[in-house]
Structure 1
C-alpha cells in the first residue's frame, strides 16, 4: 500500500520545522522560541509503551460499541457444554450438550473452546458484564475435571481420522509421534487437523481467563497440559521436531514463552525456543522475503511467538525477524483494507493488483497482524504502527462482523460485485468465527497506552478511561472518522498534575489544528505525535481536528489499480443488495484527474459519487466496512480516455473469440455447480467444489477422483480444461472412457490468469458414440485441479 510504504518519509517531514506549524500566523522566530521552551519539557516520545488495561476502558456509543454489543449477545447465546462435548467424551465423563456443527464436528473439534474462553474473558474485562464470569470459571473447572479423569494432564477435543475412515479420539496420535512415526502434510498431523494450533488456542484461553477474569486455576490447568506436551517433544530429536512443525501449529511457541513468563520455570522457555520452525523463520531472520505461496495465517502466529520470546530473552535476531516480516507484509503484501492473502496464501510481493478476488483477506490474518503490531509498538512507539493498526481495525475487522446478526465472514472479498458470506449461529465455527469472537470483545484494548507520565491516544474511538498513573479519568468523544474533530476531556483529576498527552497525527493528515481549552495550543511533535505537556486540572479539554480529504491510493506494484480513501476510511462503490445477483463487469474510473471527479452526497455519512469518471456508469461510494449486506467495488482500473478506448477494443476482440468457440462447442461442463453436475452424472470421491475469481470449479485430493459424462459427435474433437495459472505442485491424469489422454502438471508458470489447455482426442474414442465419460485422477500425494470448467468442441 502506497500510504504505508511512505510512513517513514512522512514521519521525517513531521519531525522538521513544519512540525510546529500548528497555529496559523506563528512566525519562524516565535516557533524557535516555542521549540526552545518545550525542548526539555516534552520533546520526544518515550522509548517504550504499554497498553492500559482493557478493564480501564469503557466504550461510548459508536460502531465499535455496536460490534461489542452484538458479539456479547452471541457469546451469551452459545453453550459452554457444547464446546466441551469432546473434552468430556474423551475423558470418559458424561457429556452435557450436543456437539456443535461445522468445524466443531470435524477433526479440528475443540478449537472453539479456547477461543470462546478468550472471548468471554476479554468481554468481561471490556464490559464488566456479571453473567460472563461464571461461564469462565465453569469452563476452567470442567477442564480441570477432564485432566483429573485423563490422569496425565491431557485435555483436548480434536479427533483423528484413521486410514479406514473411522474417526476417533485424537490422543491416539501422540504415542505414534513419540515413536517417530510422524506424518505431516501442512494441515494434517497423523490424521488430526492441526492439533498444536488447537492447543495454542486452549492455552490462550486459559491465560486470558487468568489475566482478565482473575481465575488462577486456569494456570494450573495450563501447567498440566504443558507437562503432557513436553513429554511428547522430549521423545523427539531436533529433526523430528521440525517434521512436527511442518504441520500448522499456530503460536505454540508463544504458549510456552507465556507459561515461562507466568511461572519463571525455565523448562517452558527451553521448550518455547525449541519449537522454532527453521524453514520459515530463518529466512526472515536473515532479511529474506520468501513468503510467496506460504499460507499466511500459519506463519503470523509463529512471529508473534518470536516477539514474546524477544521480550523475555532480549535475543535480537527474534526481534529482527518480526520487524522484517511486519514491514514486508504491511508494505508489499497487504490490500488497502489492511488484510492480506488470496485463498489464504501470500502471493509474490507487490502483486496485489493480480489478486483482487472473492477469496481475499482471511480475517484471522488481520486479527494476528494487529497482535503483532502491538508488540512492535510497545518496543518503540511510533505512530506509523497505529496508522496500519487503525486502517486494518476500521476497514477489515469492522467489516468482518455483521452487527445486525453478530455473525462473521471468513474472507472479506475485494473482487467487484462479490457479497460477503457470513457464518451461521451453530454450524460453521470456522477459525475466523472464533477469532471474530475475540476481535469484537476488545475494541478498547489499544486506544490508550502509557509510559510514566505520558498518556498516548492511538485510536480515536469514543470511550472513557481510568488512568491510574495520572490519577485521572478522561473521556474521548468524536464522530471520527466520519468527522475530523476529536475531543478529549479530563473528567476527573485529584488536584492539578503535570503530565503529557500524546495524540497520534496520521500520516495522511497533511495538516491539523490543536486547541486546549478552546484556544490554539503550541505543541512539540515527535514520531507522529503532538505532545501536550502541561499542568492539567479537571475540566480541561483538548480538540484535535484532522482533515478528511479524499485521496486515491494505488496497489503496491501497480499504479493503474486504485482505491478511494477518506482519512483512514476505505470507500467503495455500492453495486447493489447482496441478495440480488451482480453479473456486470468490474467498474473502472476514467479521466485525466479522477480524484477531482468525486462529489459529496452526504459528508456526515462519508457518502460520495463519481461525476463523469465512472465506467460503465457513475457510482455511489460509501464506507466499505459498513456495506455488510451490499455488493461493493473497492479497486478500480484507472484509465485515461485513450487507454479506456484501447481496452474496449481488446474486450470486443476477446468477445468475438469466445463467441466462435461457443459456436463450435459440443458440450460444456460447469464444474462446481449443482445442476450442471447432476445433468452430467458427476461421480466423485475426496473431491470438493471450489470458487475462485468468480469461477466455479472442482478438485480431487490424493486418493480421490471426479468424473462426468459429456456429449460428443463423430469427427475430430478437442477437450479443453481451464485452470488457474498459478497452481503449483498439481499432478494428475485425464481419461476419456477409461483411456488416459493426458498427464497434467501445473507449476505456476502462468501468473495472474486462467489458462485453457487443449487436448485433441483420438477419433476412435468418440467414433459412433453419443457421449463419453471424462475422468480426472490425481497422482498419489497430489491434487487434481482445481478444474474451472471443461469443454468439448470441434477442431474447426
Structure 2
C-alpha cells in the first residue's frame, strides 16, 4: 500500500503550490470584481491572520440576555454527571463504569460524542467566567480518559461502539482495526456498523484541545497525542483511494483537529495527516469555484471547510483558503434563511430556493454553530464588517432561539414553517448533536466581541461586557441596548502605554448607515469606512464613547424570491405571534398585503420592540422578536401581495379546500400515514419505518429492507392506489396486494416543490371480489418508499 507523501519540498511541489496560489488569486479577483470581497489580494494570500480575537479570559459578560443564557447553560452543565458521560469510555477499556449510561444518542453507537462537546463547553465556561467547578470537572474527566487509555497499548481511547453482524454491541476499536485492514463498509453516517465513529472521535479530539488551551490541562494534550498516533496509524495503512472512500462517511472536523494539534506541538506529522483528511469530492469543486452543494448533508460539509481554513492558516495552502471562502460565500448568499441557519431535513436543497423549503425541519443548530466558527477564520484574514453582520444575525436569531431561556434545553431544528413548534431536548434522554453544540455555543459569548491588530481594537458585537486586557494595558466597559435599541456606550477604565490607539466600531448593516456619535459628550462627524467608525487618540481612563445606531423596520426577501419576505428590526428577525404551542395550528399561511409598502401598517406597541400590523391578512397580527418565541408559534416568512393578488389567493384556497373534500367523498378508503389513529384503524404494521410530519402534513417512510403493511376496504370496481409525495423526493419501491406484486414504482426527483399525488392502477385480478385488501410497500434494493403523506383507494 502507498504511504502518504512526506518527502521534503521539491520542484514538483512548487509547481503545485504555484498553481494553487494562482487559483486562489483568480477566484479572489473574481470575488472582488463582484463586490464580495475588499482586500489586498497579495496580502490575503500571504497573511493568514491580520486580526486576532482578544483572549476569552479577558472578557466578562455584564447583565444581558447573553449572560442570562450562559448562566442557564452553566446550571445544566453542572447537572450532568461526568461519570455517566464516561460510561462507554471505561466499559470498552475493560474498566468498571462509575455511572449508568445516559439515554438518547448516548445509548446508541454514537455514544461518546457528548463527552467531547462537554469538555469543550466546560473549558469555554471556565475561560469565560473563571469558574473553579468547571476546571475541577475537566481535570477529572481527562484523568479518567487517561486511565482508560492506559489499558490500551496502542493509545486508543474512545466511547463509540458498533453493532456487529450478530446484533451484538462491541467497542469501537474493532471498527478502526477493520479500517486498518482496508475493510471500509459504510454510508454517509455508518462505518462498519458504527454511527459516524470518526465524527464522534473528532468531538473528543476537539474537547481535549479546548481543555488544554482554555483550562490549562497539560494531561489533555498527552492523551490527545497518544490517541492521534493511534488513528494516524490507521490512516497510514490506507492508500489514497481507500482514504477517500473512508471520508465518504461523516468525520466531523478531524482534519482541523490534526492541523491544530500540529500547530500547537510543532509536529509536522499531525499536519500531514490533517492534509490527507481532505474530502476531495466535496472540497475540489469549491477550490474551482463550483457550487456542488445541492442535496449534500449540510453539517457534514461545514467542518471540512473549517479544517481547510485552518490548513491555510497553519500550512499556507492557498487552495484551502479559496475553498473555505467560496463555501462561506455560497452558503450565506444562496442557502441561508433569515436567521442565518441553513438546510431543510439536514440537507442543502437547490440554491436560491429558500422560499420553497419553509418547513418544520429547517436549520439544524450544529450547522450554524459551525458556520460561525468558519466566519471567525475568514474574518481574521480580511477584517470586513460584513462577516460580523452575518455572525450577529445568526447569534441573535438562531443561537438564541435554539436554547430555551428558562429550561436551558436545546432545539435540534428551528422551524421556518408558519405555526412551527420548537422541539426542545430532554435533560438526560436526548443528547443529540445539537445538544452538544448548544452546550458550547452558550458558554462562549465573549469570544468574538473584541478583536485586535497591532494598533487597533475592533468592537464587532455589541454585547454588554467588561474587557480587562492585561497584555495591552487596556480595560473598558461596554454597555449595550442592542438588540432592544441601538444605544452603545464604551467607557475606558485603564489605558496604558501599550494600549491600542485606534478604536474600530462596527457599523451594523441594519442601521442603514444612520447613527450619532459622541466622544466625551462632544458630537463627532466621523464617517464610516469599510463598515467601521475609526476613532484614533491617546485614550485615557474616563474617556466615554457613545454611539446610537438607527434600528428601522425593513423587509428582506428570501434568496431567489422577491415576494417571500421577512420583517427585520436591528439584528432581529421579527415574527407574528400565532399563539401558544399548546394550541394546534392548522390555518393557511398569513400574508402581507399592501399596494404601496406593508411596513406602513406597522404601529409600535407600548411594549418596546413589539408591533401591531394592520397589513397582514386575513387579520392583523402582533410582531415580536422571533428568538423569544420558545413556547409559542410564529409566522416568520410572508408572501407579499397586492390587494388584487390577495383576492385571487382567497379564491385559490377555497378551490383547494373543495378539491380535498371531493377526494374524501369519492375515495373507497383513505389512510393518513403518520397518524396513530388512522394507522391503527387500518391495522398498519411496519419495520424500519418512521412516522413524522413535514409541512404540517403527517407522513411515514420506509427504508432499506423494511416494509409497511396495512388494510384497506375492497371494491368490485377497478381501483388505483393514490399516494401523496413531496415533489422533490425520490425512491423505488414495490406495491404488493394480498402478498402478490401489483406495481413496481420508481419516483424520480421532480421540479415541483409541492405535494404531488400519483395514481397506481392495481391489477383487477388482485382486487376483484375482495372485501379487504392487504397492501404492502417494500423498498427496492435497499432504497426508500416515501415519505408518504397519504394513501387513497380510488376508482381507477
Q: Give the TM-score normalised by the residue count of structure 1.
A: 0.93
Does 2:61 align with 1:59? Answer: yes
SS of aligned partner of 1:139: helix
Which residue of 2 is the match for residue 379 of structure 1? 381
Deviations 1:336-387 (A, max 9, x none): 0000000011111110010010011000000000000000000110100000
User: Is the CA contact (8 Å cut-off) linking 2:49 and 2:313 kept in structure 1?
Assistant: no
SS of aligned partner of 1:334: coil
Which residue of 1 is the match for residue 13 of structure 2? none
Deviations 1:246-285 (A, max 9, x none): 0011111111101101111111111111111010000000
CA displacement at 1:419 relative to structure 2: 1.1
Change (3 A) 1:584 1:498: closer
Change (3 A) 1:224 1:495: closer
CA displacement at 1:768 relative to structure 2: 2.4
Which residue of 1 is the match for residue 4 of structure 2? none
- Work out which of the residue numbers 601, 621, 631 in structure 1 matches 2:604: 601
Equivalents in 2 of 1:444, 1:351: separation in Å? 34
Deviations 1:710-743 (A, max 9, x none): 1222212221111111113x21111111122222
CA displacement at 1:75 relative to structure 2: 0.1
Change (3 A) 1:475 1:604: farther
Farther-moved stretch of structure 1 (460-469 vs 138-147): 460-469
Farther-moved stretch of structure 1 (286-295 vs 260-269): 260-269
CA displacement at 1:603 relative to structure 2: 6.7
Change (3 A) 1:293 1:646: same
Which residue of 2 is the match for residue 330 of structure 1? 332
- Work out which of the residue numbers 117, 121, 126 in structure 1 matches 2:123: 121
Does 2:773 align with 1:784? Answer: no
Equivalents in 2 of 1:379, 1:494: separation in Å? 27
Aligned residues: 758
Which residue of 2 is the match for residue 93 of structure 1? 95
Which residue of 1 is the match for residue 20 of structure 2? none
Equivalents in 2 of 1:442, 1:47: separation in Å? 21
User: Is the CA contact (8 Å cut-off) linking 1:610 and 1:618 kept in structure 2?
Assistant: yes
Query: What is the root-mean-square deviation of aligned Cα atoms in Å?
Result: 2.0
Give the 5 Å matches for 1:398-417. 398-417=400-419
- Work out which of the residue numbers 278, 281, 305 in structure 1 matches 2:280: 278
- Work out which of the residue numbers 534, 548, 552 in structure 2 matches 1:549: 552
Which residue of 1 is the match for residue 636 of structure 2? 634
User: Is the CA contact (8 Å cut-off) linking 1:161 and 1:168 kept in structure 2?
Assistant: yes
Give the 5 Å matches for 1:95-494. 95-494=97-496
SS of aligned partner of 2:314: helix
User: Is the CA contact (8 Å cut-off) linking 1:516 and 1:543 kept in structure 2?
Assistant: yes
Which residue of 2 is the match for residue 680 of structure 1? 682
Which residue of 1 is the match for residue 654 of structure 2? 652
Equivalents in 1 of 2:269, 2:68: separation in Å? 44
CA displacement at 1:770 relative to structure 2: 2.0
CA displacement at 1:161 relative to structure 2: 1.3
Change (3 A) 1:652 1:243: same
Deviations 1:646-673 (A, max 9, x none): 2222222222222221111121111122
- Work out which of the residue numbers 526, 535, 555 in structure 2 matches 1:532: 535
CA displacement at 1:496 relative to structure 2: 10
Equivalents in 2 of 1:753, 1:541: separation in Å? 56
Equivalents in 1 of 2:80, 2:33: separation in Å? 48
Equivalents in 2 of 1:470, 1:115: separation in Å? 32
CA displacement at 1:437 relative to structure 2: 0.2
Which residue of 2 is the match for residue 741 of structure 1? 742
SS of aligned partner of 2:423: coil
CA displacement at 1:231 relative to structure 2: 1.2
Deviations 1:564-607 (A, max 9, x none): 00011100000000111111111111111233333333376310
Which residue of 1 is the match for residue 759 of structure 2? 758
Equivalents in 2 of 1:200, 1:643: separation in Å? 52
Equivalents in 2 of 1:128, 1:231: separation in Å? 38
CA displacement at 1:178 relative to structure 2: 1.8
Equivalents in 2 of 1:225, 1:498: separation in Å? 41
Change (3 A) 1:310 1:495: closer
Which residue of 1 is the match for residue 45 of structure 2? none
Equivalents in 1 of 2:74, 2:499: separation in Å? 37
- Work out which of the residue numbers 684, 694, 697 in structure 1 matches 2:696: 694
Equivalents in 2 of 1:570, 1:334: separation in Å? 14
Equivalents in 2 of 1:401, 1:13: separation in Å? 33
Give the 5 Å matches for 1:26-65. 48-65=50-67
Which residue of 1 is the match for residue 7 of structure 2? none
SS of aligned partner of 1:700: strand
Equivalents in 2 of 1:595, 1:532: separation in Å? 39
Equivalents in 1 of 2:471, 2:118: separation in Å? 32
Equivalents in 2 of 1:586, 1:539: separation in Å? 53
Farther-moved stretch of structure 1 (714-723 vs 364-373): 714-723
SS of aligned partner of 1:150: coil
Which residue of 1 is the match for residue 9 of structure 2? none
Change (3 A) 1:8 1:567: farther
Equivalents in 2 of 1:713, 1:668: separation in Å? 13
Equivalents in 1 of 2:263, 2:337: separation in Å? 35
User: Is the CA contact (8 Å cut-off) linking 1:716 and 1:763 kept in structure 2?
Assistant: yes
Farther-moved stretch of structure 1 (742-751 vs 332-341): 742-751
Equivalents in 1 of 2:565, 2:256: separation in Å? 38
CA displacement at 1:11 relative to structure 2: 8.9
Which residue of 1 is the match for residue 774 of structure 2? 773
Equivalents in 2 of 1:281, 1:57: separation in Å? 36
CA displacement at 1:524 relative to structure 2: 5.2
Change (3 A) 1:497 1:182: closer
Does 2:717 align with 1:715? Answer: yes
- Work out which of the residue numbers 508, 515, 518 in structure 2 matches 1:515: 518
CA displacement at 1:189 relative to structure 2: 0.5
Equivalents in 2 of 1:603, 1:449: separation in Å? 37
Equivalents in 1 of 2:253, 2:739: separation in Å? 47
Q: Give the TM-score normalised by the residue count of structure 2.
A: 0.93
Farther-moved stretch of structure 1 (718-727 vs 642-651): 642-651
CA displacement at 1:455 relative to structure 2: 0.5
- Work out which of the residue numbers 567, 570, 584 in structure 1 matches 2:570: 567
Equivalents in 1 of 2:576, 2:34: separation in Å? 29
Change (3 A) 1:58 1:320: same
SS of aligned partner of 1:537: coil
Equivalents in 1 of 2:38, 2:228: separation in Å? 48
Change (3 A) 1:602 1:517: farther
Change (3 A) 1:663 1:181: same
User: Is the CA contact (8 Å cut-off) linking 2:32 and 2:38 kept in structure 1?
Assistant: no
Change (3 A) 1:368 1:564: same
Q: Which consecutive residues of structure 1, in runs of 5 or more, have no partner in the other structure?
A: 1-6, 16-45
User: Is the CA contact (8 Å cut-off) linking 1:296 and 1:365 kept in structure 2?
Assistant: yes
CA displacement at 1:756 relative to structure 2: 0.8
User: Is the CA contact (8 Å cut-off) linking 2:605 and 2:612 kept in structure 1?
Assistant: no
Q: Which consecutive residues of structure 2, in runs of 5 or more, have no partner in the other structure?
A: 1-30, 40-47
Does 2:585 align with 1:582? Answer: yes
CA displacement at 1:787 relative to structure 2: 1.4
User: Is the CA contact (8 Å cut-off) linking 1:10 and 1:507 kept in structure 2?
Assistant: no
Change (3 A) 1:621 1:170: same
User: Is the CA contact (8 Å cut-off) linking 1:483 and 1:604 kept in structure 2?
Assistant: no
User: Is the CA contact (8 Å cut-off) linking 1:495 and 1:537 kept in structure 2?
Assistant: no
Change (3 A) 1:272 1:290: same
Which residue of 2 is the match for residue 73 of structure 1? 75
